[in-house]
């Protein structure tokens, strides 16, 4: 197919990652669907039955840098047009029963460390490790799923671990956009909105289909001029 692209999607077996995978496949592209637990891929198996020539399920634990390096070795000869760093955590689930661990006065610093490991260190390690794959792609795009919760100006959620992990990720995206611009690699931080997934804290009002459709439009529009920006799924700019 003309214009066929290679996507690498982390956390692809459920939630936003699964919907990303589904819509990208429907558009005729190839997806390297990375997931931590390859025994928990029933929904991917259903997609594989329909898109077996375009869907490649790969094992990846975003918290384990050796796992990232192992996947890099497996894909060393594969060009990647778009890498979507979707895998992340809001903290221990169920969220409301454990949210006190992220509140001032009762902070669990092990939780804070774990959230940073997943939401910050993992995605940045992916950006370092798969640089050559993306350089060899045509689109040359690195996408990072962030959250308005990480905005210092616009949001004041009290969840220290989750909020600060996204703020730090946003700063990393800004740094990456400067560093990688000379290689013509485009970088974007996106908030998917308050989506109905197992990670939401309750009260989510957005269907995954609408969120992902919007984010894929933003990814398509991303160019060097807009690299390093922070936007909502619908294209609205978010204050840092």
pLDDT tens-digit readout, 123-152: 999 999 999 999 999 999 999 999 999 999
CA distance 84 to 77: 19
The predicted pLDDT at position 199 comes to: 56
**Domains of the chain in sequence order:** 6-232 (3.40.50.720)
The Cβ of residue 106 has, within 10 Å, a number of other Cβ atoms equal to: 9
The predicted pLDDT at position 194 comes to: 86
In the sheet that holds 229-232, the strands lie side by side as: 55-59, 30-35, 6-10, 82-85, 141-145, 186-191, 229-232
CA distance 100 to 106: 6
The predicted pLDDT at position 203 comes to: 61
Q: Is residue 45 reached through a cis peptide bond, with omega within 30 degrees of 0 on the bond before it?
A: no
The predicted pLDDT at position 202 comes to: 57
The predicted pLDDT at position 3 comes to: 85
Q: Indicate the angle between helix axes 15-26 and 208-221, nearest 10 degrees.
A: 60
pTM of the predicted structure, to 2 decimals? 0.95
The predicted pLDDT at position 154 comes to: 87
The predicted pLDDT at position 198 comes to: 58
CA distance 198 to 16: 10
The predicted pLDDT at position 205 comes to: 78
The predicted pLDDT at position 38 comes to: 83
Locate the DSSP E strands across the chain.
Answer: 6-10, 30-35, 55-59, 82-85, 141-145, 186-191, 229-232
Sign of CA dihedral 69, 188, 166, 212: negative
The predicted pLDDT at position 170 comes to: 98
Q: Which residues of the chain have pLDDT under 50?
A: 1
């Amino acid at each position: 197919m003309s214009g066929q692209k290679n996507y690498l999607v982390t956390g692809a077996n459920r939630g936003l990652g699964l919907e990303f995978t589904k819509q990208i496949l429907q558009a005729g592209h190839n997806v390297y669907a990375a997931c931590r637990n390859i025994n928990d891929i029933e929904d991917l198996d259903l997609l594989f039955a329909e898109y077996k020539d375009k869907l490649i399920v790969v094992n990846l634990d975003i918290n384990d840098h050796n796992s990232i390096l192992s996947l890099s070795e497996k894909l060393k000869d594969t060009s990647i047009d778009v890498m979507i760093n979707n895998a992340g955590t809001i903290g221990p689930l169920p969220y409301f029963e454990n949210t006190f661990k992220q509140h001032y006065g009762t902070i669990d610093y092990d939780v804070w460390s774990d959230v940073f490991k997943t939401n910050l260190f993992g995605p940045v390690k992916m950006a370092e490790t798969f640089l050559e794959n993306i350089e060899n792609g045509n689109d040359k795009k690195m996408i990072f799923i962030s959250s308005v919760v990480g905005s210092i100006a616009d949001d004041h959620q009290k969840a220290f671990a989750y909020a600060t992990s996204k703020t730090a990720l946003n700063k990393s995206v800004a740094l990456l956009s400067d560093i990688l611009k000379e290689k013509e690699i485009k970088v974007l931080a996106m908030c998917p909105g308050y989506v109905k997934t197992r990670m939401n804290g309750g009260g989510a009002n957005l269907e995954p289909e609408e969120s992902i459709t919007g984010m894929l439009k933003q990814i398509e529009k991303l160019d060097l001029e807009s690299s390093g920006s922070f936007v909502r799924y619908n294209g609205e700019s978010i204050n840092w």
